[in-house]
Chains A and B, each alone.
Chain A
Amino acid sequence: MRAVVRATYYIALRVSFRRSKLCKAARPPANSAQPPIVISRPEPPLTMRTKTIKALAVSLALAVAPALAACGEREPTSGGPASITIGLSAQPDALDPALSYAPEAWESLWLVYTPLLTYRHAEGEAGTELIPGLAEDLPTISDDGKTYTLRLREGLEYSDGTPVKASDFEHAIQRVLNLESPGTPFFTGIVGAEDYVERGKPKADIEGIETDDDTGEITITLTKPDGTFSNVLAMNFAGLVPGDTPFEDLTKTPPPGVGPYELTDSEPNREFVLERNDSFDLPGIPRGQIDRITATIVKDPRRATEDVISGRLDYIVDPPVPDQLAEVRERYGDRFKEFTTISTYYFFLNSRIEPFDDPKVREAVNYAIDKRAIARLFGGLMAPTCNFFPPGLPGYQRLDPCPWGDPNAAPDQERARELIREAGAEGAEVTVWGNNEPEPERVTEYYADVLNQIGLDAKPKVIDSSVYFQTVGNERTEAQTGFANFFQDFPHPANFMTVVDGDAIQPTNNSNFGNVDDPEINAGIDRLSKEPDLRAVKDQWAQLDRQLVEDAWLAPYGNRMLTTFMSERMDFDRCSLVHPLYQNDYTSFCLK
């Protein structure tokens, strides 16, 4: 069935793609997110980027103007400015670029606070390409890989008209560090950042960031080379805000930014409003088509789905609950699609604690789990996988044949039982950790049941999701095995490897729950992370992924699927672009 859903999904994608092409042939591209120029051009090598971008900028400037005019002309049929209402199931952790570390907030924030670098607004692999945002160009990286130089574009203004200065970048990073944002770890590689955090003074200088407001030049020095730093610069945390933005959580009064939309109104736990920023004009980044997007909090996910069906909401961020999925798929398939996110769901197997210190037991787990069963526990919104790296991540190479058997076929529990016997682990007591969100809870109970079937003595322990990761990440918990997942922070294999890096193990707040500590893998991560040109070392990353799976350091089982579900008045076929990192791209949204 897995295959069926995926097939329909791909067919749906292909159909919508073909339709959008037809639309474009009929009239200028309304969806500026996929300018034909981008598609027709081959991927340029890094060195050629500058020229390409400039060419792109010119052609876009020419192409976008008539396109928008055309859109505007069609508008009067619906009367007045186009506005839509979208639904979120909960107040995001914050609506401040420095503080928010939640995908549902990022979906909005990346359109409001453009960082120096950002990603192309495109689907699939094209969307993982870094492009200059507020910077003129991609950074120049020194030969030792430690110094990044960028130049701010000239004449930029925030949505309130304040001119953008190079020093605003340092201010944005200071806010992240000073507010102890969850984004802090990404920036502690900057020289002086650790010091800054420890001193706790907002106005102190971060040694490794030098800016020049006159020339717009920004220089960042790192303590050691880091091949992912360009991706870090594209994170929302590094989104620019005016230099006088206070050092506090501004969720209630979001500061201005540079982006296709501005956050004009925010009433926590009720709603926030994105209004199109008409002064916005950056090459490579589409302007919004909808004038006003009101995001309301609808706590009951069932009601949110019903509201989309009835048209009270035009789009929902969270997928419909499994209970409603069948109905939505069946009856509203023309405005509903499923897509696989770049994420991995896995069971961590603590290699420091019995019985999982024995590779045979870890192998047994990999043989025993039925990935098709787990997909069903997610209502079908889980794509079975063999790899640890998810498809779509640079460095992903499908493991075929999978050492533990086809992820879409029946598991080999006989073999698993045998291995447990061989390891002498029969009847070993195992506590299986999981959190109390509906899907993880189901999966945890299922997993414990499987362990019992192969001869262990397992009992699930389901705890609150708000304390889950810090509990299993605390060495005193001695968590043997349990639920874990990872969604990419940016499209780079090193990001995924942080949760299996033996050098990153720490006694508390450990995210390497299984204490994976393979010297070869550690060295590989260390070496490859420094490499600035990811393309050149993709195969080597894939090799690490293979090693991780073959040695059964963990038991990956699937990639989470999410959905796009829109009201009838939205133009679903033409205007629903799914970005590999930020999911649904609101700039692509339009009405029929």
Chain B
Amino acid sequence: MTAWTSSAPPEALPSTPQEVRVDPVPPPVPPVGVRRLLRSRLVIASAVALGLLVAACIAAPLWAAAVAGTSPERTNASPDDTVVVDGEERSVLADDGRPIGPTWGRRFFLGADDEGRDVMVRLLYGGRASLAIGIGAALLTALLAVPLGLVAGYLRGPIDAVVTWALDVIWAFPVVLLGVALGVALALGGLKIGPIEIAGGSRLIPLLVIAVVYIPYMARPIRAQVRSLAEREFVEAARAQGAGPVRIMVAELLPNLTSTIVALVPLLMANAILLEAALSFLGAGVQPPDPSLGTMLRDGIERLTTAPHATLVPGLALVAAVLSINLLGDGVREALEGDAVADGS
């Protein structure tokens, strides 16, 4: 029904599926694309950056235990909590609560936050949470959206009508509002679906919320593509050979959607990480005391004047992570689409 499947929901997440949608018949993945992907220095750089970020986050417990000797939740608010900087003993929090800035030493390498917690340690653990939620949410979205798009696009009829309508409903919500409302409600009460029970403070809650919010951004382009693919000869041929709808969807249509999915998933990841930050910033995402880049921003912004590091550090890390994913995704997409003009130089 709707030709235009893409609006960029503001603030958290411009998503650009239309670039994919424009081309209803994806060209076969050219081997030349992969080679070009590897040739682009920018893509390689961003892949390396992302790899480093992930590695650093995985190593979080190592830094916490071996270098800083603390945990991400450990507060240091008392006047007796001190750290030695340049041979001088200094309080982690000043009398008025102002946290210490980067010491570039083992403890408080990147300074403390407004409760006297080690920002570096929180950054590593927080980055871990943010990346995990972003990647997990994007994958879950794909897992839910692809079957929906396939079924709706191929079967048409009432099933299509219901699915499309449901997608329209999610679509119509202001994203942040829906995310926050769901996040707050679930954080308070937890979630119970049959035998599965998720506690309110669990990180699975923001993951789930984000995944649901983004379903239409993936399901709609997939559905549109399936519709046009369904009219093509190879599907007709399969049907003539007596293949059932499930078989056609899985064996014939799905492989043809790969490039679309591969192009969309990085975008979703980037946006999911941004949305996590927005939700946590508003208190509806990751619950305290667990760190995430969003909760760190929420804490840090309270101290923007006296301790800018508490805002700048998680913010820059967030931009670095999202940007490297976006660059990588962009490279992948270009390689898949074979942008001849861009390659023409």
Q: Does chain A touch chain B in the assembled complex, meaning CB atoms less than 8 Å apart?
A: yes
Using Cβ atoms and an 8 Å threshold, which residues of chain B touch A329? Answer: 96
User: Could you tell me if A327 and B95 are in contact, using CB atoms closer than 8 angstroms?
Assistant: no
Known: A322-B97, A461-B201, A467-B188. A373 touches B78 (CB 8 A): yes
Contact of B95 among A376, A436, A459 (CB under 8 A): A376
For residues 277 through 318 of chain B, which have their beta carbon under 8 Å from a beta carbon of chain A?
Answer: 283, 287-289, 302-307
Closest chain B residue to A5, Cβ basis: B95
Q: Does B233 contact A (CB under 8 A)?
A: no
Q: Does A107 contact B (CB under 8 A)?
A: no
User: Could you tell me if B289 and A376 are in contact, using CB atoms closer than 8 angstroms?
Assistant: no
- Which of A57-65, A227-235, A437-445, A504-512 forms contacts with chain B? A437-445
- Which of B69-77, B139-147, B265-273, B335-343 forms contacts with chain A? B69-77
Contact of B289 among A324, A326, A448, A467 (CB under 8 A): A448
For residues 302 through 360 of chain A, which have their beta carbon under 8 Å from a beta carbon of chain B?
Answer: 321-327, 329
Using Cβ atoms and an 8 Å threshold, which residues of chain A touch B74? Answer: 449
For residues 439 through 471 of chain A, which have their beta carbon under 8 Å from a beta carbon of chain B?
Answer: 441-442, 444-446, 448-449, 452, 459-464, 467
A380 to B306, CA, bound (A): 14
Contact of B115 among A372, A445, A452, A462 (CB under 8 A): A445
Interface string of A492-528 (1 = CB under 8 A from B): 0000000000000000000000000000000000000
User: Could you tell me if B75 and A446 are in contact, using CB atoms closer than 8 angstroms?
Assistant: yes
A373 to B91, CA, bound (A): 11
Cβ distance B28 to chain A, nearest Cβ, rounded Å: 52
User: Could you tell me if B283 and A323 are in contact, using CB atoms closer than 8 angstroms?
Assistant: no
Q: Does A370 contact B (CB under 8 A)?
A: yes
A507 to B77, CA, bound (A): 36
User: Could you tell me if B97 and A377 are in contact, using CB atoms closer than 8 angstroms?
Assistant: yes
Q: Does A103 contact B (CB under 8 A)?
A: no
Using Cβ atoms and an 8 Å threshold, which residues of chain A touch B187? Answer: 463
User: Could you tell me if A442 and B115 are in contact, using CB atoms closer than 8 angstroms?
Assistant: yes
A1 to B289, CA, bound (A): 28
Q: Does A378 contact B (CB under 8 A)?
A: yes
A510 to B241, CA, bound (A): 71
Using Cβ atoms and an 8 Å threshold, which residues of chain B touch A1? Answer: 79, 95
Using Cβ atoms and an 8 Å threshold, which residues of chain B touch A463? Answer: 187-188
For residues 347 through 397 of chain A, which have their beta carbon under 8 Å from a beta carbon of chain B?
Answer: 370, 372-374, 376-380
Q: Does B276 contact A (CB under 8 A)?
A: no
Cβ distance B249 to chain A, nearest Cβ, rounded Å: 44
For residues 62 through 121 of chain B, which have their beta carbon under 8 Å from a beta carbon of chain A?
Answer: 73-75, 77-81, 93-98, 114-115
Residues of B in contact with A, size category: 20 to 34
Known: A436-B283, A445-B288, A445-B289. A323 touches B306 (CB 8 A): yes
User: Could you tell me if A441 and B97 are in contact, using CB atoms closer than 8 angstroms?
Assistant: no
Q: Does A410 contact B (CB under 8 A)?
A: yes
A327 to B79, CA, bound (A): 21
Using Cβ atoms and an 8 Å threshold, which residues of chain B touch A459? Answer: 201, 289
User: Could you tell me if B97 and A445 are in contact, using CB atoms closer than 8 angstroms?
Assistant: no
Contact of B97 among A376, A410, A449 (CB under 8 A): A376
Cβ distance B286 to chain A, nearest Cβ, rounded Å: 11
A478 to B81, CA, bound (A): 34
Known: A323-B304, A327-B305, A467-B188. A449 touches B96 (CB 8 A): no
Q: Which of B79, B97, B289 has the most CB of A within 10 A?
A: B97
Cβ distance A248 to chain B, nearest Cβ, rounded Å: 30
Contact of A326 among B73, B75, B79, B96 (CB under 8 A): B96
User: Could you tell me if B302 and A321 are in contact, using CB atoms closer than 8 angstroms?
Assistant: yes
User: Could you tell me if B78 and A323 are in contact, using CB atoms closer than 8 angstroms?
Assistant: no
Using Cβ atoms and an 8 Å threshold, which residues of chain B touch A462? Answer: 283, 287-288
Q: Does B200 contact A (CB under 8 A)?
A: yes
A436 to B280, CA, bound (A): 12
Using Cβ atoms and an 8 Å threshold, which residues of chain A touch B210? Answer: none
Interface string of A465-490 (1 = CB under 8 A from B): 00100000000000000000000000
Using Cβ atoms and an 8 Å threshold, which residues of chain A touch B94? Answer: 326, 376
Closest chain A residue to B115, Cβ basis: A442
Using Cβ atoms and an 8 Å threshold, which residues of chain B touch A436? Answer: 283
Q: Does B184 contact A (CB under 8 A)?
A: yes
User: Could you tell me if A372 and B79 are in contact, using CB atoms closer than 8 angstroms?
Assistant: yes
Closest chain B residue to A471, Cβ basis: B188
Contact of A376 among B77, B184, B201, B288 (CB under 8 A): B77
For residues 157 through 203 of chain B, which have their beta carbon under 8 Å from a beta carbon of chain A?
Answer: 184, 187-188, 200-201
User: Could you tell me if A441 and B188 are in contact, using CB atoms closer than 8 angstroms?
Assistant: no
Q: Which of B77, B81, B93, B304 has the most CB of A within 10 A?
A: B77
Using Cβ atoms and an 8 Å threshold, which residues of chain B touch A448? Answer: 73, 289
Cβ distance B6 to chain A, nearest Cβ, rounded Å: 34
Known: A321-B302, A322-B96, A461-B201. A370 touches B77 (CB 8 A): yes
Using Cβ atoms and an 8 Å threshold, which residues of chain A touch B288? Answer: 441, 444-445, 460, 462
Known: A322-B302, A380-B97, A459-B201. A442 touches B78 (CB 8 A): no
Using Cβ atoms and an 8 Å threshold, which residues of chain A touch B80? Answer: 370, 410
User: Could you tell me if A442 and B96 are in contact, using CB atoms closer than 8 angstroms?
Assistant: no
Interface string of B240-259 (1 = CB under 8 A from A): 00000000000000000000
A503 to B288, CA, bound (A): 35
A467 to B200, CA, bound (A): 15
User: Could you tell me if A374 and B77 are in contact, using CB atoms closer than 8 angstroms?
Assistant: yes
Closest chain B residue to A447, Cβ basis: B75
Using Cβ atoms and an 8 Å threshold, which residues of chain B touch A327? Answer: 305
A448 to B75, CA, bound (A): 10
A31 to B52, CA, bound (A): 67
Using Cβ atoms and an 8 Å threshold, which residues of chain B touch A4? Answer: 95
A373 to B201, CA, bound (A): 26
Using Cβ atoms and an 8 Å threshold, which residues of chain B touch A410? Answer: 78, 80
Cβ distance A242 to chain B, nearest Cβ, rounded Å: 42
A438 to B300, CA, bound (A): 11
User: Could you tell me if A446 and B115 are in contact, using CB atoms closer than 8 angstroms?
Assistant: yes
Which are the 10 A-B pairs with shortest beta-carbon distances?
A1-B95, A373-B77, A373-B78, A376-B97, A370-B78, A449-B75, A380-B96, A379-B97, A323-B305, A445-B289
- Could you list 19 A-B pairs, sorted by A, with CB under 8 Å? A322-B302, A323-B305, A370-B80, A372-B78, A373-B79, A373-B81, A376-B77, A376-B96, A436-B283, A441-B288, A446-B75, A449-B74, A449-B289, A452-B73, A459-B201, A460-B289, A461-B201, A463-B188, A464-B188
Interface residues of A (CB under 8 A from B): 1, 4-5, 321-327, 329, 370, 372-374, 376-380, 410, 436, 438, 441-442, 444-446, 448-449, 452, 459-464, 467
